[in-house]
Amino acid sequence: MTRVFVPRDAAALAMGAEAVAKALAEHADVVRTGSRGLFWLEPMIEVETPEGRIAYGPVEAADVPGLLADGLLTGTARRLRLGVPEQIPFLARQTRLTFARCGIVDPLSLGDYRAHGGFEGLEKARAMGPAAIVETVLASGLRGRGGAGFPTGIKWKTVAEAKGDRKYIVCNADEGDSGTYADRMMMEGDPFSLVEGMIIAGLAVGATKGYVYTRSEYPHAIDTFDKALDIARRAGLLGGDFDIEQRSGAGAYVCGEETSLLESLEGKRGQVRAKPPLPAHKGLFGQPTVINNLVTLTSLPCILRDGAEHYQALGMGRSRGTMPIQLAGNLKYAGLFEAGFGVTLGELVNDIGGGTRSGRPIRAVQVGGPLGAYFPPALFDTPFDYEAFAARDGLIGHGGVVVFDDTVDMAHQARFAMEFCAAESCGKCTPCRIGSVRGLETVDKILAERDVDANLELLRDLCHTMKFGSLCALGGFIPYPVLSAMNFFPEDFRQATRLAAA
Amino acid sequence: MADRESWNEDRARGVIAAVAVKEGAALPILHALQHVFGCVPLQAEPLVASALNITRAEVHGIVTFYHEFRRSPPGRHVLRLCRAEACQAVGADAVGAHLRSALAIDWHETSRDGAMTLEPVFCLGLCATGPSALLDGDPIGRLDAARVDRMLESLT
């Protein structure tokens, strides 16, 4: 029977992929894959033909009988036909390294993984030895993809040189930023990449145990990755001198902060630790620990396979290699766009993202999750680069880009930032724990037109205190969305102009 | 939704013992309890404390720190609606308001007929196809008032 590839990525399931797979089951050999990340086309299915795969989408279950009658299985049906997936402009413009296999392979087939270049990086890593692996990662210029952008090679070198009874590799898959879904897609679409990346990290620093801390809001990712671990263990890839265990979070955003995540893994309240000591010296259970974001770890297999120069040649400034940028919110073409650093925000949301889904003008774009600044169109020339965003009081975070149209109320967004911080603060430091509550109250006073000038000044002052006085990025960065809303959209904070605009 | 068991101390001890051997076992234990009983009731705290050799106060602190752990069993269905920014940008606030009014409940509450518990969630990683929710663990995208109504009608 003809093979038809139907994604089982959670976003494809949200759009009805399960019913499509069922409708095709009797007529084709249905292979479940991850998603290519073109979410406005989901469920996007692909038919295997002698000329290669032909994509169709968005396909609903009700479309299947008609498509089959019109020649779906030979790729000749005209309706919903997208053609060769790699030639769809959204994909053709990308440089897929980390996400090269996602949406193509059966995520739980080691044979597929190997056939698409899997474990070649690990083989090279084994041959070169720990010191050379660390040198390669340093030379690649890879920086932490969780948001902090710390050079991965330096972190590894520190752990490699640290003394401890045992060492750990911890993968941060607590992807809590709104607008981000790269970790989820990878765990559901190409989980062996993470297994390979963590084995490489373990080799490099001499670790014997790996933990993956996955957020509980990702039940499908957890399920797929657990199955991948079982398969890897049965194939002898894990369980000898290095094993991996997955743990699930429990709905605390702050556990995406590395020290809070370690506390949570140890079975405690996820409260942030003061640094130093660095996790590299005293991390999980007090032992030297590499804690990396999932995208950082899954970038390693291709760096080791293709060499540091190949990766380092991409990007701009000190941001080297590719970034899987996640386009989200009110966008016509929202999806995963992996490209070398340097593409501008305007290109991302207008050219690639196609503007808003609602058809209204874009008013604000929040980059980097709930702690990221809201940028107005005037800043759309900002290139996607750690330093360029920081220079404009923003951050790229984990690469989430959330677009809002002109119906957004920016005072409401500022209020939400404080409300979110108040709900998610771990409570350890005062600026975040108390500041967020006071910030929420102050925004409410402004919205109620009470002493607006004085309260705006107070809010600004409070943001300053939180920014410089908080222990971690939650309290430290929540001022970014608040201040950017105040600075770029001041009219939304004045009732008179709010009413006039409404 | 999977059948939930009503509270039984011996059953709880068994659930705890099966997971307590792990390193840093607190969260795996609490997840296992919630999986079986639909929540982590107060009565579970001394059992967890004794298994982990920590105080009951510490266990209480852990349970209450994490939003996910419920203290009482949910309704027959659980809808976790995303309230984060990417879903806000496509109308999640209106969907949330519609749901609360249709079910006549607020966040974290269960409808009077026991059919539905409504829980807010901050991001499901379904940010390109929002507004998003998980209904008994199954993802739903592009929610609006009409889809919510159809979904509520189909539930028992």
pLDDT (tens digit per residue) in A229-261: 999 999 999 999 999 999 999 999 999 999 999
**For residue A344, is pLDDT > 60?**
yes
Residues in B touching A178 (Cβ below 8 Å): 82, 84-87, 122-123, 127
Q: How far is B88 from chain A (nearest CA, A)?
A: 8
Ranges of residues in chain B whose predicted pLDDT is under 50: none
pLDDT at A185 (0 to 100):
98
Q: Which of A15, A218, A405 sits opposite B125 (nearest CB)?
A: A218
**For residue A352, is pLDDT > 70?**
yes
Residue A459 to residue B104: CA distance in whole angstroms = 35
Residues in A touching B26 (Cβ below 8 Å): 267-268
Q: How far is A45 from chain B (nearest CA, A)?
A: 17
Residues A36-47 have pLDDT tens digits of 999 999 999 999
The answer to whether A423 and A408 have CB atoms below 8 angstroms apart is no
The answer to whether A57 and A16 have CB atoms below 8 angstroms apart is no
Q: How far is A333 from chain B (nearest CA, A)?
A: 8
Residues in A touching B80 (Cβ below 8 Å): 217
The ipTM of this complex is 0.97
Residues in A touching B122 (Cβ below 8 Å): 176, 178, 253, 370, 420, 424
Instruction: Tell me which residues of chain A, numbers 126 to 155, contact chain B at a CB-CB cutoff of 8 Å.
Output: none
- Residue A14 — very low, low, confident or very high, per pLDDT cuts 50/70/90? very high
pLDDT at A478 (0 to 100):
98
Note whether B65 contacts A: Cβ–Cβ < 8 A.
Answer: yes
Residues in B touching A13 (Cβ below 8 Å): 138-139
Q: How far is A217 from chain B (nearest CA, A)?
A: 6
Instruction: Tell me which residues of chain B, numbers 67 to 126, contact chain A at a CB-CB cutoff of 8 Å.
Output: 67-69, 80, 82, 84-90, 121-126
Residues in B touching A331 (Cβ below 8 Å): 128
**For residue A62, is pLDDT > 60?**
yes
Instruction: Tell me which residues of chain A, numbers 179 to 208, contact chain B at a CB-CB cutoff of 8 Å.
Output: 179-181, 183-184
Q: How far is A52 from chain B (nearest CA, A)?
A: 28
- Residue A186 — very low, low, confident or very high, per pLDDT cuts 50/70/90? very high
Instruction: Tell me which residues of chain A, numbers 352 to 381, contact chain B at a CB-CB cutoff of 8 Å.
Output: 357-358, 366, 370
Query: Which is it for the CA torsion A440, A446, A448, A453, positive or negative?
Result: positive
The answer to whether B95 and B135 have CB atoms below 8 angstroms apart is no
Q: pTM of this prediction?
A: 0.97
CB contact under 8 A, A408 and B84: no
The answer, yes or no, to whether the previous bond of A276 is cis (omega within 30 of 0) is: yes
CB contact under 8 A, B124 and A264: no
| Rounded percentage of chain A residues whose pLDDT exceeds 70 | 99
Residues in B touching A15 (Cβ below 8 Å): 129, 141-142
| Rounded percentage of chain A residues whose pLDDT exceeds 90 | 98
Between helix B92-103 and helix B145-154 the angle, nearest 10°, is 40
CB contact under 8 A, B31 and A366: no
B138-140 and A374-375 strand pairing: unpaired
Residues in B touching A220 (Cβ below 8 Å): 139
Q: How far is A200 from chain B (nearest CA, A)?
A: 23
Note whether A480 contacts B: Cβ–Cβ < 8 A.
Answer: no
CB contact under 8 A, B24 and A265: yes
Residues A117-168 have pLDDT tens digits of 999 999 999 999 999 999 999 999 999 999 999 999 999 999 999 999 999 9
Q: Which of B67, B122, B129 sits opposite A39 (nearest CB)?
A: B129
Between helix A182-189 and helix A191-205 the angle, nearest 10°, is 100
Amino acid symbol at B61: G
Residues in A touching B138 (Cβ below 8 Å): 13
> Which residues contact residue B64 at a Cβ distance below 8 angstroms, ignoring those fewer than 6 apart?
none
Count residue pairs from A and B with Cβ separation < 8 A: 158
Residue A81 to residue A75: CA distance in whole angstroms = 8
**For residue A313, is pLDDT > 70?**
yes
Give me the mean pLDDT over the A100-121 stretch.
98
Residues in A touching B121 (Cβ below 8 Å): 217, 251
Q: Which of A179, A220, A424 sits opposite B127 (nearest CB)?
A: A179
pLDDT at A498 (0 to 100):
65
How far lies B9's CA from each of A222, B30, B62, B69, in Å? 29, 14, 20, 18
**For residue A501, is pLDDT > 90?**
no
Task: Tell me the two tokens of residue A461.
Answer: 């002052």
Task: Tell me the two tokens of residue B143.
Answer: 């929610």
For A59, phi then psi, to 5°, come to -100, 125
Amino acid symbol at B144: D
The answer to whether A462 and A438 have CB atoms below 8 angstroms apart is yes
Mean of the per-residue pLDDT values for chain B? 96
* Chain A, nearest residue to B65 by Cα: A269
Residue B75 to residue A85: CA distance in whole angstroms = 43
Residues in B touching A285 (Cβ below 8 Å): 23-24
CB contact under 8 A, A328 and B140: no
Instruction: Tell me which residues of chain A, numbers 404 to 463, contact chain B at a CB-CB cutoff of 8 Å.
Output: 404-405, 408, 413, 416, 420, 424, 426
pLDDT at A327 (0 to 100):
98
The answer to whether A19 and A59 have CB atoms below 8 angstroms apart is no
Q: Is A31 exposed, middle or buried (0-12, 13-18, 19+ CB in 10 A)?
A: middle
Residues in B touching A335 (Cβ below 8 Å): 128
CB contact under 8 A, A179 and B129: no
CB contact under 8 A, A250 and B80: no
* Chain A, nearest residue to B119 by Cα: A251
**For residue A497, is pLDDT > 70?**
no
Residues in B touching A400 (Cβ below 8 Å): 86, 127
Residues in B touching A478 (Cβ below 8 Å): none
Residues A405-440 have pLDDT tens digits of 999 999 999 999 999 999 999 999 999 999 999 999
Q: Which of A14, A221, A267 sits opposite B24 (nearest CB)?
A: A267
The answer to whether A440 and A397 have CB atoms below 8 angstroms apart is no
| Diameter over CA atoms, chain B | 51
